[in-house]
Chains A and B, each alone.
Chain A
Amino acid sequence: MPKTRIMAFTWSTLKNLFSKPATKNYPAEPIRYPERSRGHIEIDIEDCISCSMCARSCPTGAITVDRKELTWAINRFDCLACGYCVIKCPKKCLHLVPGYQTPEGEKKEVSFKRPAPAPKPAAAPSAAPKAAGSASAAGKATLNGDIVTMANGKTMDLSKFPAEKKAEILKKLGLDAAPAPKAEAEGKATLEGDIVRLPNGKTMDLSKLPEANREKVLQKLGLK
């Protein structure tokens, strides 16, 4: 049989009556957040590249990214403050900071617009084929060493393909007339100690290859 007391709580009640109130005087005093408190998402809009990773990863779909208009919008009345978009952003331009969205009479979205990206500068390799005399008129693919620059601006590294495929592609693009000497004309491989610098800009460390292969590579590149 446990003990039974009448008014067991009296001592605590009296203690509470005469001690400081436990109430946080909220509207009169501002809130003090702990450092890690999760409130809302903020973006450094200049770093955003409109890749939409955040919009795709958001569990509620609160983020909308418009690539054409270069805007990033968030519906704060839909945001969980979970932080998944912060983890997924490749540029790390999203931050989860303390502070909540104040209650409103209607739901609304907040939108940010980023500055338009600078136009891409003309790539250096495409200048050289003009010097080598191959057709560089708009609408035709150009070849520089092992890199083919297509009419739509995309580049393709031919060294990744086997020899027959390479010949096929060059024929298709009408570049098979470009002979090997062109490669020599402006894009020759250079050897610096153990590092070979290829015409497409890539470097290769010969010390990583076995002995037998090193000879083959140097012969192929015409460095021996």
Chain B
Amino acid sequence: MEEREKKRSVVPFGPQHPVLPEPIHLDLVLEDEKVVDVIPSIGFIHRGLEDLVKKRDFNEYVYVAERTCGICSFGHGLGYVEAVEKCMNVEVPIRAKYLRTIWSEMARIHSHLLWAGLMADAFGFENLFYQCWRLREKNLDLVEMTTGGRLIYSVNKVGGVLKDITPDMQKVILNNLSELEAELRDVYKTFMTDYSVQERTRGVGVLTKEQVHDLGCCGPYARASGVARDIRQLGYEAYGELDFEPVVSNDGDNYARCDVRLREVFQSIDLIRQAIAKIPNGELSVPVKGNPDGEAFIRIEQPRGEAIYYVEGNGTKFLNRFRLRTPTFANIPGMCETMKGCSYADIPLLVVTIDPCISCTER
């Protein structure tokens, strides 16, 4: 019997694709419907915004740093502002820290629900996609009530925050979050127990704990493989005073990642409740004098993983350098590793499970 030679073909994926919210280009090397190799190429969203520090002074740059990404927007504003505050040795009032924590967790809820919707859309379950995004709108109503914007919050400034959450607003937040939690239980049950969802997600895209360490993955992507690391445990902002444990699962496949992210939404709701119960009275911001001089290095836990912010000042009002390393950049090698050996139809799912935020990665 002749051995039939398997021919390899290269199929381009992206930058415009129904399942991708952002442009990324992958060249998939296929052998008969099985993916053998993946070559990513990025660069469609590179705007060069780190260079703008030289043209916008350090107070104004918050508005640019926030717009690095529309989904992780609050996190980027927060990281930049924290790095500049560390550089200038500014101590932020305690109430501002609690407010930042509350908004940070709201951003995490909105991001994970967004991801859950896109994941459901990726395996064709459009009804679930709409339900997740309908719940997300409830969260966005709370955000708009407190900050004024739906995606871009614009409440951070060097030295504190610009707006307050009054006790009336706190009551509304607690009510709405309870409703959201009740409805989310249904969605969570569907994700975890539905037969068709399990067929598409169990056993697909497995990453072991050793592979995660070798490839340097972070965030929920790594926590789904058993690595119990959450940068919020470092205690930045008010996290040191709140009580939580990292959400971990041990399977390492797509199913585990769904599980980890949805359980993190419940954890965030709990954290917001704790923060609102403990929030002290105080000022919202301190005045900041002088210019940043020196270097500072900050890590925060974005919804997608660990983000690192580096700021260098030279004594003038324009910073010398601002550098941001995003979690998606660390997860892309993990994604390429999971794709080798999988079937062609699973590619969109595997791209969506890392929660790609290409605009953060390319800035």
Contacts and interface: CB of A to CB of B under 8 A. Distances in A.
Contacts of A9: 127-128, 186, 190, 194
Interface residues of A, number: 26
Contact of A83 (B141, B146, B154, B187): B154
Interface in B144-201: 144-149, 154, 162-163, 186-187, 189-190, 192-195, 198
B127 A5 contact: no
- B interface residue count range (under 10 / 10 to 19 / 20 to 34 / 35 or more): 20 to 34
Tell me what chain B mostly uses at the interface: helix, strand, loop, or mixed. helix
Contact of A59 (B63, B131, B195): B63
Nearest to B125: A9
Contacts of A22: 134, 137
B340 interface: no
B60 interface: yes
Given A6-B195, A8-B193, A59 B163 contact: no
B64 interface: yes
B63 A80 contact: yes
B56 interface: yes
Contacts of A4: 193-195, 198
Contacts of B128: 9
Given A36-B145, A36-B146, A38-B154, A84 B195 contact: no
Contacts of A35: 145
Nearest to B189: A8
A210 B194 CA distance: 86
Contact of B190 (A2, A12, A34, A96): A12
Given A12-B131, A59-B60, A34 B144 contact: yes
Contact of B163 (A2, A16, A36, A84): A36
Identify the 5 closest CB pairs spanning chains A and B, nearest first: A8-B194, A38-B148, A36-B148, A34-B145, A9-B190
Given A36-B148, A82-B154, A84-B60, 11 more contacts: A5-B194, A5-B195, A6-B194, A9-B194, A34-B141, A34-B148, A35-B145, A36-B144, A37-B149, A83-B162, A84-B63
